[in-house]
Structure 1
Amino acid sequence: MSSPMSIPRTRKRTGTSVALMVGALAVTGLALAPTALAVTPATATIDADCGGLGSGAATLTATQNGSAATVTLTSTDITAPVALGADSIAATLTLTKAGGGTVTFSGTENPAMNTGDPVTVGPLNGRVASGDRLEAFGGELRMTIWGFITLTCTATAPQSPGPFVFD
């Protein structure tokens, strides 16, 4: 008779077999998991003309997750014309595509900003294809505030260090 503290050999073997199978499945899952995609460069700088908001340098930051991508614009040279609540700007960013066409990113995400604060818009969401090369020059950022004030920014030169290239 076995003591209450001992485990019968058949249960031990079954437990070991289950543990090995779970471990093998975990390793297989890691091997088959999709690889992370990345956009390069992750950030680019543009010179932007935003009319009444001002003109100057702006930074575009891009991310990618499969065919989903985001772009965020930040600038200390371009400032809020009035106090704005969080998520109060409806924005559409159109980037030109190498070889023709455009890709649009849109959303309503922005932090709260006081009059004169640096502008941040995004992340704006869009769809990309592997190999897309997207550039701000030739495109535009259209921002609608309170549903009726529309402001448009355009890049005055190609972005630096170059277009966003998506995996």
Structure 2
Amino acid sequence: MKSSLKHGTLYVLGALAATTLAMAPAAHAVTPETATLSFDCGSYGSGTATLKATQDGTAATVDVSTEAITAPVAIGANSVESTLTLSKNGTDTATFTGNSNPAIPAGGAVSTGPLAGTVASGDSLEARALTIVVFGITVECTATSPQNPGPFVF
């Protein structure tokens, strides 16, 4: 009797686990997860940037690492204010903002993110501009190439 009760309990627990998995929200994925492009930052430099995107429901983040801008002096963690402007579905814009960055040594390439934004299912986003503010100095960068391998699709 104890054995059949034990097996019955296992079946019920298994059925509950399967039901819970079936009711869990579907994981959202962004493709591609990583893209590269070129930025021109005027007198501050130019070069390539790598963007890494993630998505959780309607919340999305993009991390930016670029050799287009290098730090003239050491920059402490979480002291770079950044705004990434992306074209959205070819007709609108989306902005991702944040002030999270690792410590950047003097002469090091600027990395910033995660920059947070909101997306809808099917949104296609491609970077157009990056604005970085460090020590009160604003650096404006403009994309000079399309994202490779293509826009982020959420």
TM above 0.5, yes or no, is yes
Query: Which residue, 84, 91, 105 being the options, matches 2:96?
Result: 105
**Number of aligned residue pairs:** 154
SS of corresponding position for 2:11: helix
Looking at structure 1, the residues matched to 84 and 68 of structure 2 have their Cα atoms a distance apart, in angstroms, of 18
Looking at structure 2, the residues matched to 20 and 159 of structure 1 have their Cα atoms a distance apart, in angstroms, of 50
Looking at structure 2, the residues matched to 111 and 21 of structure 1 have their Cα atoms a distance apart, in angstroms, of 48
TM-score by length of 1: 0.83
Contact 1:68/1:128 (8 A) holds in 2 = yes
Contact 2:35/2:150 (8 A) holds in 1 = yes
Contact 1:140/1:152 (8 A) holds in 2 = yes
Query: Which residue, 65, 79, 94 being the options, matches 1:88?
Result: 79
Listed as ranges, the gaps of 5+ residues in structure 2 are none
Aligned to 1:149: 137
> Which aligned segments of 4 or more residues in structure 1 are displaced greater than 4 angstroms?
11-16
TM-score by length of 2: 0.90
- Identical columns (%): 55
Contact 1:88/1:110 (8 A) holds in 2 = yes
Give the CA deviation at 1:14: 4.9
The higher radius of gyration belongs to 1
Aligned to 2:22: 31
Contact 2:40/2:143 (8 A) holds in 1 = yes
Aligned to 2:42: 51
Give the CA deviation at 1:16: 4.3
Give the CA deviation at 1:103: 0.8
Query: Which has the larger displacement, 119-128 or 19-28?
Result: 19-28
SS of corresponding position for 1:24: helix
Aligned to 1:163: 151
SS of corresponding position for 1:39: coil
Give the 5 Å matches for 1:107-122. 107-122=98-113
Contact 1:53/1:81 (8 A) holds in 2 = no
Spell out, residue by residue over 1:113-133, the C-alpha distance to the aligned partner (whole angstroms, 9 max, x if none). 112101111111111011111
CA RMSD of aligned residues (A): 1.7
Query: Which residue, 60, 64, 70 being the options, matches 1:69?
Result: 60
Looking at structure 1, the residues matched to 48 and 33 of structure 2 have their Cα atoms a distance apart, in angstroms, of 17
Question: Aligned pair 1:128/2:116, yes or no?
Answer: no
Looking at structure 2, the residues matched to 99 and 46 of structure 1 have their Cα atoms a distance apart, in angstroms, of 17
Spell out, residue by residue over 1:89-109, the C-alpha distance to the aligned partner (whole angstroms, 9 max, x if none). 111111011241111111111
